[in-house]
């Protein structure tokens, strides 16, 4: 079947199901092109919750992102186009492990990165994103904080807080593979380009970057910054979004190694089939959803 025919089917099914398609910034370009809304995971989940007229959300992403959308829109059907699209970082932590760490440090508050399962979020006091992690940690009335699951983001936060951080030793494999030598090599090719990297990167990479920002922060930065060229240190799907938002500027991806196979499991055919068969709906048990939603809403309220 031709691509145009698949897209036409998707558009027809969207109307029949009263659905909207959302795509994370790391999704393949063909998915971002047909999405109604592109953005980072929390941004998309909040926007979905603010669309009461929509019945179905096709969330083109990985598993934990779909869960967050479901937590904030329990009345909606949230579909994940590929049931095997999971986040390796989120898989590096589980509720039992976090409970054991909490037991070792009684009374210490837990900040949980949104890149985690709903079950793990339910064990946290408050969630954070890469954009607001520093603010969230500093908002807590405690000298010591458990930060999970991303040790690299935690190390970045530690630069901007006086609090002691107890770090869970998880990480994003994509960002963890980006090395200083990748930055140096790309900078040699494009000496006038500014280097922007994600705070999930290794501390040594952050040390030599010009800017360290979330994916949403990258979009804002390239539109407002006077620089004309940027080296982009994050998953390659971000290139489509940046080129779309700032078409007059030049972007150079840090390295082919910064590729997430899980994010790239989504295809046009899978989006169509998710709507056609209403398959792979996200479900979160009520006892988990109630606690996880509290941690998310605390973060949202603090970020306003």
Can you tell me the mean pLDDT for 145-154? 98
87 neighbors 63 (Cβ within 8 angstroms)? yes
For the stretch 203-228, pLDDT in tens is: 999 999 999 999 999 999 999 999 99
What CA–CA distance (Å, rounded) separates 70 from 118? 10
Q: How confident is the model at residue 232 (pLDDT cuts 50, 70, 90)?
A: very high
Which H helix or E strand runs over 58?
strand 56-60
* Residue 1 in this model has a pLDDT that exceeds 70: no
Can you tell me the mean pLDDT for 179-208? 98
218 neighbors 242 (Cβ within 8 angstroms)? yes
For residue 129, which phi and psi values (nearest 5 degrees)? -115, 175
**What is the length of the chain?**
304
Give the pLDDT score at 237.
97
Give the SS3 label for residue 39. strand
For the stretch 11-27, pLDDT in tens is: 999 999 999 999 999 99
- Which residue, among 299, 296, 294, 292, has the nearest Cα to 135 in the 3D structure? 299
For residue 127, which phi and psi values (nearest 5 degrees)? -100, 170
Question: Structure tokens of 5?
Answer: 């025919």
**pTM (two decimals):** 0.95
Which are the contacts of 150, defined by CB distance < 8 A and separation ≥ 6?
A: 89, 113, 115, 168, 170, 171, 172, 200
Rounded to the nearest integer, the mean pLDDT of the chain is 97
Burial (CB count <10 Å: 0-12, 13-18, 19+), residue 175 = buried
Give the pLDDT score at 175.
98
Handedness of CA 134, 135, 141, 146 (dihedral sign): negative
**Helices and strands (H, E) in the chain, number of each type:** 16, 12
Can you tell me the mean pLDDT for 38-55? 95
Pairing of strands 37-39, 19-24: parallel
Question: Which domains are delineated in the chain?
Answer: 3-85+263-282 (3.40.50.10800), 89-171+287-303 (3.40.50.10800), 178-253 (3.40.50.10800)
Q: Within 10 Å of residue 94's Cβ, how many Cβ atoms?
A: 16
What CA–CA distance (Å, rounded) separates 112 from 103? 16
What CA–CA distance (Å, rounded) separates 248 from 250? 7
Question: Structure tokens of 153?
Answer: 């983001």
Burial call 195-223: b when 16+ CB within 10 Å, e when fewer: bbbbbbbbeebbeebebbbbbbbbbebbe
For the stretch 258-280, pLDDT in tens is: 999 999 999 999 999 999 999 99
For residue 194, which phi and psi values (nearest 5 degrees)? -85, 140
Which H helix or E strand runs over 233?
strand 229-233
Which are the contacts of 28, defined by CB distance < 8 A and separation ≥ 6?
A: 237, 263, 264, 266, 267
Which are the contacts of 46, defined by CB distance < 8 A and separation ≥ 6?
A: 72, 300
């Amino acid at each position: 079947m031709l691509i145009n025919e698949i897209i036409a089917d998707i558009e027809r099914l969207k109307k029949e199901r009263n659905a909207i398609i959302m795509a994370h910034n790391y999704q393949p370009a063909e998915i971002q092109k047909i999405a109604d809304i592109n953005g980072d995971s929390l941004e998309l989940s909040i926007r979905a919750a603010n669309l009461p007229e929509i019945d179905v959300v096709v969330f083109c992403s990985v598993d934990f992102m779909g869960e967050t959308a479901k937590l904030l829109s329990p009345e909606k059907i949230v579909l994940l186009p590929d049931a095997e699209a999971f986040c390796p970082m989120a898989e590096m932590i589980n509720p039992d492990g976090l409970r054991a760490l909490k037991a070792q440090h009684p009374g210490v508050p837990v900040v949980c990165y949104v890149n985690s399962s709903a079950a793990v979020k339910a064990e946290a006091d408050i969630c954070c994103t890469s954009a607001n992690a520093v603010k969230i940690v500093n908002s807590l009335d405690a000298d010591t904080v458990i930060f999970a699951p991303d040790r690299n983001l935690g190390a970045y936060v530690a630069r901007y807080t006086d609090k002691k951080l107890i770090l869970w030793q998880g990480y994003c494999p994509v960002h963890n593979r980006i090395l200083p030598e990748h930055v140096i090599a790309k900078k040699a090719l494009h000496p006038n380009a500014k280097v922007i990297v994600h705070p999930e990167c290794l501390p040594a990479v952050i040390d030599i970057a010009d800017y360290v920002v979330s994916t949403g922060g990258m979009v804002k930065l390239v539109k407002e910054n006077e620089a004309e060229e940027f080296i982009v240190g994050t998953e390659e799907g971000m290139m489509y979004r940046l080129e779309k938002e700032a078409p007059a500027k030049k972007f150079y991806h840090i390295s082919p190694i910064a590729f997430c196979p899980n994010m790239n499991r989504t295809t046009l055919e899978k989006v169509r089939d998710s709507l056609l068969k209403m398959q792979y709906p996200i479900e979160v048990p009520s006892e988990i959803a109630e606690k996880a939603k509290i941690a998310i809403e605390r973060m949202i309220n603090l970020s306003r």
